[in-house]
C-alpha cells in the first residue's frame, strides 16, 4: 500500500510491555495533515472527522517498550519528526483487517495489518524536535515543555513522546498514556506560574457545544482549584457521572474523568496564563447520545479551550 502519512505513528497498550507499534497511512497521496491533527478539527462535522480517521490504515509490529531502537523504530521516529505529509510504502504480511477501532481515549482509526516492510520518503524534519531528539541529556519533561513553548502542536509533541524520542532513559509510551502524560506535564508547569497571579474579581461563565458535547466553564474568585464533572448516557439510557477535584496540592488519585481531566485542565490553564490571572475553575461536560464516536482527549481539550478562550455572546461576566 502506498500513501502519504499525515505524518502519524501509534503505540498500542495491549500486551504491555510488548506493544504493537507502527505508522498510520491513508491509501491516498498529498496533504493529509488534517487526518491526524485534532487542533484543526474544531468546526468540522462528526462525519468529516470519522472519515479522516477511518482513512488511516494502522501498520503494526510487536516491540518491547524499553527497546526504542533498531531501524524500524528509527524510521518511525523520523516520520514523527516530519513537518509535512510523508510519502510512505507499506507491505503487509497479509491483507489488512477491516476493523473499526474505537475506545474512550483515542480517536478511531481504520484497518489494521502486520507490517512486513515499511519505507518512508525523506522529508523535512522540524528543527526544534530534531534538536531535542539528539539531546541525550535533557529530561523528557523539559523537552516537552520546550517544544510547547516554541509553538509546536500538542498532538505533535505527544506522538514524539510516545515513540520514545525524548529523555535520558528512553522508552515507548502507549499513545493513550502519552496524551495524558503530555497534557499533565504542560498544565502542571502552567499552574505553577498561575498561582503567582492575582485572583479574578468576578465570575465568568463560558459555554460551548460541538459534536454532542456541551461544555460549561465557570471561573470564580479564588486561589487555584480545579474541578471537572462529566455526565453521560450509557447504552441502556441511564445517566452516568464522574467528578474529580484538585487544589494547589494537585490530584490525590487518578481521575474518574480520566484523560479528559488533564485535557480540560490544560485548556483552562492556557486561558488563565494568557490573561495573567488565577481562579477557581469548574468544568461541566455533558456527553450526549449523538457523541457516538469519541474524538479522543485532545479533541476534548480543544473543545474546552474554545469554550474558555472565545469571548462571544456565550461568555458572561458577573
Domain locations along the chain: 2-125, 204-317
Q: Is residue 297 helix, strand or coil?
A: helix
CATH number of the domain at 204-317, out of 3.40.50, 1.10.10, 3.90.1170, 3.30.230? 3.30.230
Residue pointed to by grid coordinates 474558555: 308
Examine the pLDDT at 313 and tell me if it is beyond 50.
no
Domains 2-125 and 204-317 are alike in CATH topology: no
Examine the pLDDT at 286 and tell me if it is beyond 60.
yes
The 10 Å CB-count burial string (b at 16+, else e) for 99-132 is: eebeeebbbbbbbbbebeebebeebebbebbeeb
Torsion of CA 170, 174, 180, 182, to 10 degrees: 30
Report pLDDT digits (tens) over 153-199: 999 999 999 999 999 999 999 999 999 999 999 999 999 999 999 99
Least confident of 44-48, 121-125, 196-200, 218-222: 44-48
Q: Which CATH class is domain 2-125?
A: mainly beta
Q: Average of pLDDT values for 103-114?
A: 73
Angular region, 151: left φ>0, alpha ψ -120 to 50, beta rest: left
The DSSP secondary-structure symbol of 76 reads H
Secondary-structure breakdown of the chain: helix, strand, coil percentages, each rounded to the nearest 5? 30, 30, 40
Amino acid at each position: 500500500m502506498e500513501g502519504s502519512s499525515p505524518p502519524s505513528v501509534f503505540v498500542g497498550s495491549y500486551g504491555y510491555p510488548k506493544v504493537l507499534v507502527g505508522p498510520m497511512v491513508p491509501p491516498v497521496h498529498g496533504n493529509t495533515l488534517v487526518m491526524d491533527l485534532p487542533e484543526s478539527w474544531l468546526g468540522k462535522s462528526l462525519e468529516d472527522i470519522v472519515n479522516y480517521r477511518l482513512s488511516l490504515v494502522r501498520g503494526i509490529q510487536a516491540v518491547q517498550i524499553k527497546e526504542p531502537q533498531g531501524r524500524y523504530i528509527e524510521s518511525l521516529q523520523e516520520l514523527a519528526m516530519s513537518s509535512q505529509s510523508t510519502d510512505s510504502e507499506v507491505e503487509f504480511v497479509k491483507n489488512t483487517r477491516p476493523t473499526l477501532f474505537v475506545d474512550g481515549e483515542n480517536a478511531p482509526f481504520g484497518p489494521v495489518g502486520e507490517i512486513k516492510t515499511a519505507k518512508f520518503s525523506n522529508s523535512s524534519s522540524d528543527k526544534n524536535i530534531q534538536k531535542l531528539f539528539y539531546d541525550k541529556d535533557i529530561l523528557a519533561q523539559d523537552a516537552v515543555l520546550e517544544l510547547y513553548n516554541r509553538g509546536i502542536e500538542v498532538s505533535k509533541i505527544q506522538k514524539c513522546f510516545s515513540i520514545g524520542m525524548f529523555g535520558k532513559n528512553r522508552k515507548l509510551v502507549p499513545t493513550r498514556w502519552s496524551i495524558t502524560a503530555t497534557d499533565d506535564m504542560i498544565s502542571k508547569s502552567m499552574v505553577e506560574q498561575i498561582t503567582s497571579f492575582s485572583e479574578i474579581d468576578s465570575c465568568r461563565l463560558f459555554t460551548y457545544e460541538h459534536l454532542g458535547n456541551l461544555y460549561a466553564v465557570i471561573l470564580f474568585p479564588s486561589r487555584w482549584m480545579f474541578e471537572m464533572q462529566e455526565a453521560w448516557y450509557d447504552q441502556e439510557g441511564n445517566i452516568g457521572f464522574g467528578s474529580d477535584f484538585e487544589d494547589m496540592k494537585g490530584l490525590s488519585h487518578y481521575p474518574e474523568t480520566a484523560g479528559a481531566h488533564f485535557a480540560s485542565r490544560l485548556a483552562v490553564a492556557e486561558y488563565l496564563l494568557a490573561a495573567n490571572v488565577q481562579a477557581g475553575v469548574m468544568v461541566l461536560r455533558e456527553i450526549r447520545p449523538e457523541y457516538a464516536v469519541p474524538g479522543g482527549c485532545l479533541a476534548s481539550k480543544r473543545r474546552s479551550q474554545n469554550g474558555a478562550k472565545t469571548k462571544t455572546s456565550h461568555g458572561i461576566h458577573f
